[in-house]
Amino acid sequence: MIEPGTKAPGFTLYNQDGEEVSLSDFAGRKVMLVFYPADFSDVCTDQLSVYQEVLGEIERKGVQLLGVSVDSAATHRAFREKLGLEFPLLADFHPKGEMSAAYGAYLDSIGITNRSLVLIDEQGVVQWVHESPTLNDIPGANLIFDALEEVDAG
């Protein structure tokens, strides 16, 4: 995984609507990258549904949540609609996993993104990371709030 204190690698990926989204679009805001293995899997469905439940709290803390997996923009659109997600899902589809690999979240041996969280501050510096020990371990929303408190406390 990428180390805290590292300048976050820039990226431009397509969202669920086929629009380009770049890290630079969020300059001056905190960003939480939510890397997850696959749309429509049971564990990913549970994980992103939990984040949707607390999205308002996350946004009130000035954080933009961005989901990232190697699925296509069209798959993201269907998954987002099915779950009623209101945060963007970004397609690290082609070249497959390139952005995720830059953050240390791509599992090349199985061709999917590992379940990981990366908090980037307003200056584009990685402040906090979490890598789940297995693909079935969901990082709870409490981890996001604990990370935000820790980073805000300095």
- pLDDT tens digits, residue range 56-71? 999 999 999 999 999 9
Query: Does some domain include residue 63?
Result: yes
pTM over 0.75: yes
Task: Quote the distance between the C-alpha of residue 151 and its chain's center.
Answer: 18
What is the total count of domains within the chain? 1
Element housing 35 (H / E): strand 30-35
20 catalytic per annotation: no
- Active-site residue (options: 8, 21, 44, 99): 44
Quote the pLDDT of residue 154: 74
CATH number of the domain residue 101 falls in: 3.40.30.10
117: exposed, middle or buried (C-beta count within 10 Å: 0-12, 13-18, 19+)?
buried
> Is residue 5 in a domain?
no
Instruction: Judge whether 40 lies within some domain.
Output: yes
Q: Which domain holds residue 96?
A: 12-153
Q: Does the residue 7 lie in any domain?
A: no
Query: What's the rounded mean pLDDT across residues 42-68?
Result: 97
Give the residue carrying structure tokens 């380009």.
Answer: 20
CA 129-134-135 angle, to 5 degrees, is 90
Mean pLDDT of 136-140: 95
In a domain, 69, yes or no: yes
Does a structural domain hold residue 71? Answer: yes
- Can you give the pLDDT at residue 153? 85
Q: Which residues contact 67 (CB under 8 A, 6 or more apart)?
A: 34, 36, 48, 76, 85, 87, 88, 89, 90
The answer to whether residue 1 sits within a structural domain is no
Summary count for the chain: helices (H), strands (E): 5, 9
3 within domain boundaries: no
